[in-house]
């Protein structure tokens, strides 16, 4: 008897999770080209690469990105990280049990399980393996109390069985509640963005003691539980950079000089992104800039208050989202894409008319510095970044061929964020490029293959005969060492078949090695496109291919 294979319908067909995808050849060549270009361009601007981990404490993102944002509120992949698998499954067993008051065994085994849980849980707390948070301590107390009361209540039927049942149910829901709030380990999230991580690393590694500013860039996956569509994924990639600079205690002494210095940094950062896009020949690049004022100053607060009161006046004409934002974040109403809100938004007060002198000076300097660098921009007074920590310079870059998801880069200044995360007073400016969208736009532009850069020459070795095989193995080794891409078939092929396969794989050349060639010490290189043949000795062949 042969062992039965699992029935077809029982075999699960695995697929990439919704919103994630495999990047495959030949597309990955373009991804690599984009990333290599980023390394090259950013290096010329004095940036160094940072590779933070892809998960961090949820609290870090909640604080940096903001608890009220969509990202933190509903888009993060969050999990509890702990070594207490058994304890955790015991907790869910207890949670789903419904002990029967009329069955003493059922009640006592329920209570036994609670005691078993309590034993391991309090030990974990005592050894600090489980965090000693106020919630956890309270849950411990409550569980102890319920574990004592349940056996007493279960045996006490005064007032009737129904009454006793109700009292027991109350205890059980108390147990469930205690188990629900318990955190056996740290609460972590897959990063939805990387600015928070870079700031955390800056603090953790005391980078304020290194030469300032610290100029860092990163490339890697981000995770947000959004509705997947073209240009919007749940795992997507960002190429980003941050400039972080410790604020000197005497920085306020020459405020004007500081403002110009910041403006130059802003302009350089923007210039760097534009240079990168230029190198990639990204089509239809458009840069928009704005200044959103200074949070700590009156200009931002004054403007937001004015905006809010103006919005109140037109409230009934706005959609539900904007109505809500009047309260939570009036700034974000300017972001609205709703058709019928556009004429209303057009009449709202503009921040440029309300900037304080410092912000005005800085914004003017940014524009002047961009012009000096030959960077074209348009001003968009409605360009706000939703997050509280952004200030002054904000910018966004769009590209062609992306439909409504056409933003490929967003950035801005965020002085104060490092301090908010527990670090020293620090200035910051940065951006994040959506690499998936960047690639889509390049692919739409068709000359993506060109953009993918020069591939090394591709040689297929058509060998025939045992002697030729040994020579082919050596030739493959030498050619590969010289950077040539080589395909060495593992079986002998007839000449016609070999050429056919070489073309199918996309090789440019076939290197013909038969017994004659081996005896002569010369090899024949056939150009597949036009069928031309040339004879070479090995050193000449290497020279020829290297020159390509
Ligand atoms: P959008 O308004 O398009 O949602 P965002 O303001 O959420 O963008 P940022 O957090 O500023 O985006 O991220 C910077 C860039 O990252 C965006 O301009 C975009 O190119 C890219 N990006 C953001 N979310 C996604 C996603 N879910 N899938 C692919 N790319 C994304
Ligand atoms: Mg978004």
Question: Which residue's CA is the nearest one to ligand 1's atom 21?
Answer: 434
pLDDT band at 447 (very low <50, low <70, confident <90, very high): low
Q: Cβ-count burial of 529 within 10 angstroms (0-12 exposed, 13-18 middle, 19+ buried)?
A: exposed
Which of 434, 436, 440 has the most ligand 1 atoms within 8 A of CB, as the residue to mutate? 434
Q: Which residue has the higher pLDDT, 301 or 527?
A: 527
Say which ligand is closest to the CA of 238.
1
Ligand 1 and 233: CB distance under 6 A: yes
Q: What are phi and psi of 253, to 5 degrees?
A: -60, -40
The pLDDT of 105-109, averaged and rounded, is: 91
Ligand 1 and 407: CB distance under 6 A: yes
Q: Cβ-count burial of 350 within 10 angstroms (0-12 exposed, 13-18 middle, 19+ buried)?
A: middle
Residue 434 C-alpha to ligand 1 middle, in angstroms? 6
322-72-34 Cα angle (round to 5): 100
Provide the pLDDT for residue 9. 60
Of 187, 175, 108, 110, the residue nearest 141 (C-alpha): 175
pLDDT band at 466 (very low <50, low <70, confident <90, very high): confident
Which atom number of ligand 1 is nearest to the Cα of residue 433?
A: 15
- Cα 234 from Cα 16, distance rounded (Å): 11
User: Would the pLDDT of 472 be above 50?
Assistant: yes
User: Would the pLDDT of 448 be above 70?
Assistant: no
Provide the pLDDT for residue 285. 96
Question: Which residue's CA is the nearest one to ligand 1's atom 26?
Answer: 232
Of 323, 381, 334, 426, the residue nearest 64 (C-alpha): 426
The pLDDT of 41-56, averaged and rounded, is: 98
Say which ligand is closest to the CA of 434.
1
Q: How far apart are the first and last CA of the chain?
A: 61
Say which ligand is closest to the CA of 74.
2
The pLDDT of 36-60, averaged and rounded, is: 97
SS3 category, 479: helix
pLDDT band at 453 (very low <50, low <70, confident <90, very high): low
Q: Which residue has the higher pLDDT, 279 or 250?
A: 279
Residue 386 C-alpha to ligand 2 middle, in angstroms? 10
Residue 162 C-alpha to ligand 1 middle, in angstroms? 57
User: pLDDT tens-digit profile of 163-189?
Assistant: 888 989 999 999 999 999 999 998 999
Could you give the count of Cα atoms lying within 13 Å of 494 in the half-sphere of its Cβ? 2
What mean pLDDT value characterizes the chain?
A: 91
Other C-beta atoms lying within 10 Å of the C-beta of residue 87: 19
Provide the pLDDT for residue 401. 87
Q: H/E element holding 287?
A: strand 286-291
Provide the pLDDT for residue 1. 44
Q: Which residue has the higher pLDDT, 451 or 386?
A: 386
pLDDT band at 526 (very low <50, low <70, confident <90, very high): very high
Residue 237 C-alpha to ligand 1 middle, in angstroms? 10
Ligand 1 and 75: CB distance under 6 A: no
Question: Which residue's CA is the nearest one to ligand 1's atom 5?
Answer: 410
Provide the pLDDT for residue 522. 87
Q: Model pTM?
A: 0.86
User: Would the pLDDT of 92 be above 90?
Assistant: yes
Question: Which residue's CA is the nearest one to ligand 1's atom 15?
Answer: 434
Provide the pLDDT for residue 290. 95
User: Would the pLDDT of 451 be above 60?
Assistant: no
Provide the pLDDT for residue 177. 94
Q: Which residue has the higher pLDDT, 151 or 290?
A: 290
pLDDT band at 237 (very low <50, low <70, confident <90, very high): very high
What DSSP string runs through 57-125? Answer: EHHHHHHHH-TTSHHHHH---EEEE-S-HHHHHHHHHHHH----TT-HHHHHHHHHHHHHHHHHHHHHH
Provide the pLDDT for residue 503. 94
Ligand 1 and 224: CB distance under 6 A: yes
- % of the chain residues with pLDDT over 70: 96
Q: Looking up tokens 């980078």, which residue turns up?
A: 207
Q: Which residue has the higher pLDDT, 69 or 126?
A: 126
Ligand 1 and 193: CB distance under 6 A: yes
pLDDT band at 335 (very low <50, low <70, confident <90, very high): confident
Provide the pLDDT for residue 210. 97
Which of 221, 225, 231, 410 has the most ligand 1 atoms within 8 A of CB, as the residue to mutate? 410
The pLDDT of 227-239, averaged and rounded, is: 96
On whether the CB atoms of residues 219 and 399 are closer than 8 A, the answer is no
Say which ligand is closest to the CA of 387.
1
Residues 6+ apart with CB under 8 A from 376: 287
């Amino acid at each position: 008897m042969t062992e039965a294979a699992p029935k077809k319908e029982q075999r699960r067909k695995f697929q990439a999770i919704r919103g994630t995808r495999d990047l495959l050849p030949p597309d990955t060549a373009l991804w690599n080209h984009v990333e290599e270009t980023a390394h090259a361009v950013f290096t010329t601007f004095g940036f160094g690469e940072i590779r933070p981990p892809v998960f961090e404490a949820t609290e870090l993102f909640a604080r940096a990105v903001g608890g009220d944002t969509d990202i933190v509120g509903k888009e993060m992949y969050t999990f509890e990280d702990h070594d207490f698998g058994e304890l955790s499954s015991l907790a869910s067993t207890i949670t789903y049990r419904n002990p029967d008051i009329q069955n003493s065994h059922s009640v006592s085994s329920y209570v036994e399980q609670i005691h078993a849980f309590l034993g391991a849980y309090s030990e974990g707390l005592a050894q600090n393996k489980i965090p000693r948070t106020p919630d956890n301590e309270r849950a411990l107390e409550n569980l102890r109390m319920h574990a004592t009361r349940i056996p007493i209540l279960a045996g006490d039927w005064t007032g009737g069985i129904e009454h006793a049942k109700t009292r027991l149910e109350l205890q059980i829901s108390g147990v469930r509640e205690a188990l629900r709030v318990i955190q056996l380990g740290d609460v972590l999230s897959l990063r939805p963005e990387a600015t928070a991580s870079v700031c955390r690393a800056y603090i953790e590694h005391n980078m304020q003691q290194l030469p300032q500013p610290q100029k860092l860039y990163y490339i890697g996956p981000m995770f947000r539980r959004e509705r997947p569509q073209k240009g919007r994924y749940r795992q997507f990639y960002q190429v980003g950079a941050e400039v972080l600079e410790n604020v000197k205690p005497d920085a306020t002494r020459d405020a004007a000089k500081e403002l110009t210095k910041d403006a130059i940094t802003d302009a350089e950062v923007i210039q760097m992104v534009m240079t990168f896009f230029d190198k990639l020949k990204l089509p239809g690049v458009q840069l928009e800039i704005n200044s959103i004022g200074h949070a700590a100053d009156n200009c931002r607060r004054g403007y937001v208050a004015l905006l809010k009161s103006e919005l109140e006046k037109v409230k009934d004409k706005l959609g539900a989202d904007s109505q809500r934002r009047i309260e939570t974040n009036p700034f974000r109403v300017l972001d609205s894409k709703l058709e019928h809100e556009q004429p209303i938004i057009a009449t709202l007060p503009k921040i440029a008319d309300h900037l304080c002198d410092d912000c005005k000076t800085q914004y003017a300097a940014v524009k002047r510095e961009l012009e000096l660098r030959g960077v074209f921009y348009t001003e968009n007074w409605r360009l706000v970044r939703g997050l509280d920590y952004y200030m002054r310079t904000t910018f966004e870059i769009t590209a062609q061929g992306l439909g409504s998801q056409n933003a490929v880069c967003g950035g801005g200044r965020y002085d104060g964020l490092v301090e908010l995360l527990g670090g020293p007073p620090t200035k910051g400016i940065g951006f994040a490029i959506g690499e998936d969208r960047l690639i889509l736009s390049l692919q739409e532009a068709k000359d993506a293959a060109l953009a993918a850069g020069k591939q090394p020459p591709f040689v297929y070795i058509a060998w025939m005969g045992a002697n030729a095989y040994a020579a082919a193995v050596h030739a493959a080794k030498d050619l590969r060492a010289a950077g040539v891409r080589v395909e060495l078939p593992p079986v002998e092929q007839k000449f016609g078949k070999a050429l056919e396969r070489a073309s199918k794989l996309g090789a440019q050349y076939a290197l013909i090695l038969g017994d004659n060639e081996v005896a002569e010490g010369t090899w024949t290189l056939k150009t597949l496109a036009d069928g031309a043949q040339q004879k070479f000795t090995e050193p000449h062949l290497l020279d020829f291919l290297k020159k390509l």
